[in-house]
Chain A
């Protein structure tokens, strides 16, 4: 197991390097530059800007320097747009925000979605099942860029209960709306997956055996059915967790949370090479890490799986 983990971590290194290089190439292939402005810049100033950011160097030198900076000093370089800040500052400021609302969204999605799915499966083909399926399909088809304005209209403008945006260091009233908006569709997916897999498990032979032994239903579900039923859910949770803690463009833009989610789009549009690279590497590294975590969890839950 330990060998397996080490092997996976070693593989992650070339994967990340390929990610860096290919993002770098894509970035430079896009027309425009971070310094293009409507007024145009005097050539001397432009030359200085490019020198300041190392853009005057040949491509392979730029990428080499970048990788060396990241590896040796964990320095993701300057932001090309936010000139008073560097990428480490920006991510250091925004990541705790997305981590907070992402973590709560994850909890809500897992608890509500999981219970909804299991309940629906156990009460298969009853009104409870139909209700749970209805709710989860409804939640799935309602995208968060529609849900977010509706939440603000309802809770901010009409009811006046909650602020329509901001973060204020993560006070609870600022966290609620982003969490609802972000968790809804994940919750629906979890409900659907857990219902389907629970249904499958409940019709399997060993459950029938357990029930034939006369075990009470509660014991059958929690002792025998839950663990295998969770396997497909867990494989979904790895990427879903990364997706939630790295935030969402929609949440950051609609709720002005100051998270890093909006940099995904903004840095690409502004050609903010530094921020774009930093965010991509962060997301890549987290994805690799949580996929590994999921695989380890798998082995722990399912005795059939051994590495």
Chain B
């Protein structure tokens, strides 16, 4: 990693030397003419409940955290790791990790960012007194004693993270985890400034009080209206930051937001109105984008006692899956570049090779023939019909998909009762297995297949269908310590497909509109992590 640093330094030096040659308004690397106005505006889907890194639990706050705070590592445009506050990181056994922090990292009040700040933040995330809804992430990262600390059975001081000196952080894991550095990118692991948190309590994120260490700092905000960030002059890389100000507008209604985008009020929005993408792509191809996003859409099948008894039979689950014509859903309902899914893990997951699942290679006609046969074998069919209760949370897309799927199942003698619930009720009902089939989606917390596959191990709290297969449990447990777990992941996917543990439907895309004068947007980042410090605005032609 020192190489990176030398390179960066030499670029800076050459930049400094070249300075008189560059016109003041061209990009220092690409030479593109820059716009005089280097501000960036975007739409926030909703008011963020918090921007305290250890309390954030959703994407809107997550995007802000990546501008306001900087963790040990951040991501390049393609999602690969690059140094953040840490300049170097290493481990000999994948179990004890050492991070060397840069000397010039500063908080927005000028204090140096030290290893102790990370220790404070990570302990805080695990501390039951913080009551972080993302405490599970600390446990997921396998940090030693995390589970006990979260449960309040051990002091957070026993957590496997310590500052060897101001610039050296050592993390001890309960078991080896080769992808641990990937996990440090997440906002839960961003540092927080202890004196500020202790002085102001819950109000420390107030614009008057907040101290942060990212490329930007919080300038002003009004709940449900806007948030404004300005450049942080104390940031170690401040000289390379081009965008000077970021404004986020809270606009709940997608259609209203799109109208305002088209009126030129801001530069970027995602979560486009349902069904609007094909038209946008056709009319404004340089503005509308569709990129893979690390989420999978599937139907959870309740295999516990409370579900329909037929669903405990893999034949029935397989028949239901075969009958779903995924191309109809992706090409005619969603129409935004989504990929039909025959397996759980998103196809674009890093290092993951999509397994060749048998039924993905057949034609839909073949699948349907096999489905009818399987159903007969299981003793069901039009003569012995079954009625399934399908639940979904409120959304036009979920409703359309559920309607289409229920029609596809009809030839099997399956009657589907659709039940729509608003989000909180839906979570309650799904979590208590009061359904037969439930619309579900899962988004990766880090870019590695286990973020999906762990979900289907028998003791995972989010295994709402209560799928149990000891072989899957064993393989996933073994995969954690392997240097190359990819073949195991492929094997697990094969088992899931044989058992039809879930009914995969499609892999997400991220659809968004972006003003064409904004350059260097990280379109290859499947986790949709963007850092405004990397982008810039060119002068309109």
Contact = CB atoms under 8 A, between A and B. Distances in A.
B265 A164 contact: yes
B222 A167 contact: yes
B284 interface: no
24 contacts: A30-B424, A34-B424, A36-B424, A37-B57, A44-B128, A45-B131, A45-B133, A45-B136, A48-B129, A48-B152, A52-B131, A81-B49, A82-B47, A83-B52, A85-B202, A152-B260, A163-B265, A164-B259, A164-B260, A165-B265, A256-B224, A256-B251, A269-B423, A269-B424
Interface in A37-60: 37-45, 47-49, 52
A37 B427 contact: yes
Interface string B40-52: 0000000101111
Interface string B208-241: 0000000000000011111000000000000000
Contacts of A148: 256
Nearest to B461: A40
A83 B50 contact: yes
B259 A156 contact: yes
Nearest to B57: A37
Nearest to A153: B259
Given A32-B425, A83-B55, A253 B253 contact: yes
Given A44-B128, A152-B259, A90 B133 contact: no
Given A262-B252, A271-B424, A38 B462 contact: yes
A164 B224 contact: no
A40 B47 CA distance: 22
A45 B130 CA distance: 8
Contact of B225 (A44, A153, A164, A256): A256
Contact of B152 (A31, A44, A83, A90): A44
B23 interface: no
A94 B133 CA distance: 27
Contact of A42 (B57, B150, B251, B256): B150
Interface string A147-165: 0110011001100100111
A247 to B, nearest CB: 11
B36 interface: no
B259 A82 contact: no
A184 interface: no
Nearest to A41: B133
B136 A32 contact: no
A164 B263 contact: yes
A140 interface: no
Contacts of A35: 133
B265 A31 contact: no
Nearest to A260: B224
A51 to B, nearest CB: 8
Contact of B52 (A37, A41, A84, A94): A84
Interface string A287-300: 00000000000000
A270 interface: yes
Contact of A31 (B132, B133, B222, B424): B424
A166 B263 contact: no
A236 to B, nearest CB: 30
A166 B226 contact: yes
B169 to A, nearest CB: 24
Interface in A239-286: 252-254, 256-259, 262, 269-271
Interface in B476-526: none
A137 to B, nearest CB: 26
Interface in B249-277: 249-253, 255-256, 259-260, 262-263, 265
B385 interface: no
Nearest to B138: A42
Contact of A48 (B128, B251, B427): B128
Contacts of B263: 156-157, 160, 164
A37 B205 CA distance: 23
B37 interface: no
A36 B55 contact: no
A43 B133 CA distance: 11
Interface in A176-195: none
B136 A39 contact: yes
A84 B203 contact: yes
Contact of B224 (A44, A160, A252): A252
A209 interface: no
Contacts of B55: 83-84
Contacts of B131: 45, 48-49, 52
A33 B425 CA distance: 8
B356 interface: no
